Amino acid sequence: KMPFQKQSSVLHKFKGILYSTMCSEELLNSLDFFNAREDDVFLVSYPKSGTHWVAEVIENIPNVSMSLTSPIELGDISKFEELNMYCKRRVIPTHLSYNMLPMNIKQKQCKIIYIVRNPKDTAVSLFHYYRDNPNLPGIETWAGFLELFLRGDVVYGSWFDHVLSWEEHKNDKNILIIFYEEMKRDLSKSIKKIINFLGINVSDSEINKITRKTSFSEMKNNAAKENCDPNHTICALTTNRNLVFRKGAVGDWINYFTSKQKRVFDELFTEKMKDSELARHFED
Ligand code: A3P
């Protein structure tokens, strides 16, 4: 049962894609006026792909002068002034697709980390987020939600289109693609990849420390303490960190998809992702 009353209009459409009303139309319209800095780092993902996890890894890198900002698309037109105030190297999260990314970021070839997760697990995770998050519309059933997800009628649009928009740039030297499942399999290895990509030197013992600090249980426990700190907002869909750490598992989709739902999903996946190399990571 809903512990709160859902608002009726919590999303709005911009260029055919759904966004939270916390991302103003004015801001979405003005993204190309954003002033990127050459040393900016962008943390990009479709929602529920492990954004908070990678952000936590970056925040735990010792002795570097970096600061995590709130998402570039969150807020109103004063956003860019707010981002201008940061003195340190900025790490800027966003769920925008490649085509929506401010021009300046592309021109300056800022470093971009794109996080991607198995779409079935992403769908299940987003389903729970829709149910638990007062900033997202009410959802009746898993079956109903899955239809919306497959149609791309969810916040930030279709998973397929999002991933494909980024995959086109997977060989750009300023882009690093990180898989959620790889992080689960060997977190230290993924952390090393991220650190190398950012051009930072970190000792093995520090890497072990980061690995421990960014485990699911550690992060879930800490979320309770840091909860609702608006300065620690990584996803433009909530400031409540308690909503983020649910299960943190690979393959949880099996507990939700019926065999028919799996078939329908796989058919669309095969059709949409037929030319995608990246998608091969997610073939069963
Ligand atoms: P689940 O809902 O499947 O548990 P995002 O940060 O992009 O919103 O993604 C949230 C998802 O990442 C949630 O998935 C959350 O539990 C998972 N997650 C967050 N931190 C994690 C960690 N340290 N280890 C594993 N999964 C993590």
The predicted pLDDT at position 223 comes to 85
Rounded mean pLDDT, 89-112: 97
User: Is 21-117+162-250 assigned to CATH 3.40.50.300?
Assistant: yes
pTM of structure: 0.95
User: What residue owns the CA closest to ligand 1's atom 24?
Assistant: 216
How far CA 170 is from CA of 167, 181, 215, in Å, comes to 5, 18, 27
Nearest Cα residue to 247 out of 45, 60, 48 = 48
Condensed to tens digits (0 to 9), the pLDDT of residues 132-183 reads 998 899 998 999 999 999 999 999 999 999 999 999 999 999 999 999 999 9
Does residue 11 sit in helix, strand or coil? strand
pLDDT band at 195 (very low <50, low <70, confident <90, very high): very high
Cα of 179 vs centre of ligand 1, distance in Å, is 12
User: What residue owns the CA closest to ligand 1's atom 17?
Assistant: 248
pLDDT band at 283 (very low <50, low <70, confident <90, very high): confident
Average predicted confidence (pLDDT) for the chain = 93
128 catalytic residue (yes or no): no
Ligand 1 in contact with 111 (CB < 6 A)? no
Rounded mean pLDDT, 211-231: 84
Quote the DSSP letter at residue 5.
P
Ligand 1 in contact with 185 (CB < 6 A)? no
Atom of ligand 1 lying closest to residue 52 CA: 6
Cα of 52 vs centre of ligand 1, distance in Å, is 7
pLDDT band at 5 (very low <50, low <70, confident <90, very high): low
Q: Which residues of 77-108 are buried (b: 16+ CB within 10 A; e: fewer)?
A: eebbeebeebeebbbbbbbbbbebbbebbeeb
Cα of 47 vs centre of ligand 1, distance in Å, is 10
User: What residue owns the CA closest to ligand 1's atom 22?
Assistant: 216
